[in-house]
Structure 1
Amino acid sequence: MKNKIGIIVVLILIAVFAVIAFKWIKHRMEYVITDAVFVETNNLSNISFKRVSGKIIKFYKKEGDKVKKGEILAKIDPKDYVLQLEKIKKEINSLIFKKQALEEKKDRINKQIDKNIQIVKISLKENKKLQDSLLSQIKGIDSRLSQLKKDRERFLNLVNKDLAPRRKLEEIETNIDVLSSQKEALLAKLEQLKLQKQSLNEKVKLTKIKKLQIKEIESEISSLSSKINSLRKSKEDIENLIEYTKLRAPFDGVIAKRFKSVGEIVSSGVPVFAIYPLNDIYIKVLLEETKLKGVKIGNKAIIHIDAYPDEYFEGVVYEISPAAASKFALVPRDITAGEFTKVAQRIPVKIKIIRGKIELLKVGMGGEVEIEKK
């Protein structure tokens, strides 16, 4: 009885082993298995400070941290740029004050010129009216004097011949004297009006000179405006430099490497971080050429990462290199001398991860891949 039980147990074990062996052989026939596996990315970017240099005073992220686009990663001391900004701000404010003072002066002179022009125009108009009135009066007096002088000549002849009384002649001469005095007074007033007109014309000339002064002020204002605009551009540039003292993430990703430490002096363009986008991670497989048969684009792949043995990752083949990895080595093998040892070449295969916690993966991790064969 015991022998029968023993035989049954052996047969069961043989059957179990046969099933396991069958499954193992079947799996080996359906899948290509290799451990030449690495987590890779196409876009590992070195991040550096732009246009600024100085001492790093703070890091906000460390290696392995996830970052969002625009997040601050590190900062250098902005003190020198802040001092430059304050200096330019003071210069701008000083020039703006000068410009405002000149504009006020220009407005004041303009108002004065407008007022003077208005007064001069009214005065010239009034002067002309008075001169015309005086000339009209003088013309009337000249006409009357001419007539009186003719009457005096006529009465003088009559008086000499005793044909008219002398009293009449004296009356005419008195009228001539009165009119002559009136004419002299009017001529004096006319001369005063002419002098007044000359004075008004001088004021017009002074007004023109003040207009030239305004042009000079406008030219100075324009020059100050140009300087202010130039300084404002410099101010904007320095404000940008101050913003550049904050190193920001260019995209969503993961910090792969930090090259500098707090207190180090860095120059513009020197790498501070290496960062890669999380959604750009893929699995790179260096597959032996002897295992390449049946591996096609679109084939399913099961990925095992050494760091996470309990995590399941699944992917698909999306690229198979047309050349062996050895062709891209920095120092390719020289076989022209006839020295040659046959070695199985490895073909780079890229696998896109479609399932699993991709955020756990870090560039450079290793593992094992099983690629379905078709």
Structure 2
Amino acid sequence: MAEADPGTIERDTVSVPADDAAGPVTEKEPASRVWRRRALMFAIPLILIAAAAFYWAGLQGKAVTDNAYVQMDKVSISAEVGGKIIEVAVADGDTVQQGDLLFRIDPTPYQLQVAQANAAIATAQANVTALANSSDLSGADISAAQEDIAFAQANFARKDALYERGFLTKTEHDAARHAVAQAREQLRQAQARQQAAQAKLATGSAVPGENPQVAAGKAQREVAQLSLSRTEVRAPAAGRIAEADRLQIGQQLVQGLPVVTIVRESTPYVEANFKETDLADMRVGQRAKIHLDAYPDLELEGRVETIGAGTGSEFSVLPAQNATGNWVKVTQRVPVRIRLLGKSPRQLIAGQSSEVTVYTDEGK
């Protein structure tokens, strides 16, 4: 075996089968599929961008909120006089008109007050008649006192002359003088009684031509009659009854305590709480659309009637105090009142949730 040349390196050659050397055979992908995949890769982002742009453009000139509720004016009814309920004429859900009877309070105590006032008037009128016919007012006592004075003075003059001549004692002379003074005092008392009687019959500027005692009795009767009329509680406005379950026969009512509510369905409106950042272009009178959660297919038209004078938190029972070290800024909500245009074809209920869109590009 010949020696290898040291300057050369022998390599072993490995024979590879023809099939293995070729490797796996793949089919060539069609060009249409490649282009379709590339088109999708570019189209999806473009569609998303276009949709976002379309959505953003749709929001321009509008202010939308779903923090909105149907509201109606409510009248809380309370008894103006206290007493026991003896009749209830309404129930929850009833529709009433202005002046309809709601409930009645026991009138007996107030009927007695009217009778008591009538008695006081009769007493005052009797006193007036007695004073008008009394001797104090007629002047008879004054005339009698004046006659007594004249007689006492004449008697004193005679006794004074006898006393000067020494035919009368000093005691008798002093008694005659005392009789004159006593007669004058009786005249003064009679005149005082006449003035007092005239004062009792006098009329003041507040009630000219009528005795004050009689006028006081009539005023007392009017108060009693007013209280009696208030035992029948009637509807101050038309609407639907709510919370009537608190009216129970035999229940003792407290004056001024609300016991039933009338919801005025004739004047519904929507109170929408918009973010303060939505108010830059909002104006009174702008058009609005309302969609109710209860009636998805119903669309109502409205107008911005008022924009609140303060945020919702400003008028809360416990307003937020932001003067703290952990203060976090929160976007505030401002109540906006939307007046409905026309009558809704479906019944509206106070408190219904809704979505409001205000077109802020109008009326700028």
Normalised-by-shorter TM-score class: 0.5 to 0.7
Matches within 5 A, 1:42-53: 44-50=74-80, 52-53=81-82
Distance 1:354 1:360, change over 3 A: same
- Give, in angstroms, the shift of residue 57 of structure 1: 2.2
Distance 1:313 1:359 in 2: 10
Partner of 2:39: none
> How far off its partner does 1:363 sit?
3.0
Question: Do residues 236 (structure 1) and 266 (structure 2) align?
Answer: no
How is 1:16-95 mapped onto 2 (pairs within 5 angstroms)? Answer: 25=55, 28-29=59-60, 31-41=62-72, 44-50=74-80, 52-89=81-118, 92=121
Q: Secondary structure at the match of 1:302?
A: strand
User: Which one of the candidate residues 272, 287, 298 is aligned to 2:274?
Assistant: 287
For structure 1, the 5+ residue unaligned runs are: 1-20, 111-211
In 2, Cα distance between equivalents of 1:373 and 1:98: 77
Distance 1:359 1:241, change over 3 A: farther
> How far is the alpha carbon of 1:59 from its aligned partner?
3.0
CA distance in 1: counterparts of 2:65 and 2:246, whole angstroms: 37
Q: AA paired with 1:56?
A: I
TM-score of the pair, normalised by structure 2 = 0.53
Shift of 1:245: 1.5
1:369 aligns with 2:353: no
Task: Between 316-325 and 52-61, report the one with greater CA deviation.
Answer: 316-325
Please state how far the C-alpha of 1:346 moved relative to its aligned partner: 2.4
Deviation for aligned residue 1:97? 7.5
Change (3 A) 1:353 1:98: same
1:238 shift after superposition: 0.7
Equivalent of 2:322, from 334, 337, 341?
334
Which blocks of at least 5 consecutive residues in structure 2 are unaligned? 1-50, 139-190, 203-209
TM-score, normalising length: structure 1: 0.51
1:259 to 1:27, Cα distance in 2 relative to 1, 3 A = farther
Contact 1:289 1:344 in 2 (8 A): yes
3-state SS, counterpart of residue 355 of structure 1: coil
Task: Find the residue that maps to 1:361 and give its secondary structure.
Answer: coil
What is aligned with 2:256? Answer: 269
Q: Distance in 2 between matches of 1:297 and 1:241?
A: 45
Cα deviation 1:303-348 (Å, max 9, x = unaligned): 12334455542111122336543343324153621342x5443232
The residue identity in structure 1 corresponding to 2:337 is K
Q: Which moved more, 1:299-308 or 1:269-278?
A: 269-278
Q: What is the alpha-carbon distance in structure 1 between the residues aligned to residue 275 and residue 131 of structure 2? A: 83
Q: 1:314 touches 1:356 (CA, 8 Å); kept in 2?
A: no
Q: Note if contact 1:64-1:256 (Cα within 8 Å) is conserved in structure 2.
A: yes
- Bigger share in helix: 1
Q: Which has the higher contact order (CA 8 A, sep 6+)?
A: 1
Q: 1:292 to 1:226 in 2, by over 3 A?
A: closer
- Find the aligned partners of 2:221 and 2:260 in 1 and give their Cα distance: 29
Question: Is the alpha carbon distance of 1:364 and 1:358 closer, same or farther for their aligned partners in structure 2, counting shifts above 3 Å?
Answer: farther
Work out which of the two has the higher radius of gyration on C-alpha atoms and give 1 or 2. Answer: 1
User: Aligned-pair RMSD on alpha carbons?
Assistant: 4.5
Bigger CA drift: 240-249 or 353-362? 353-362
- Matched letter for residue 82 of structure 1: Q
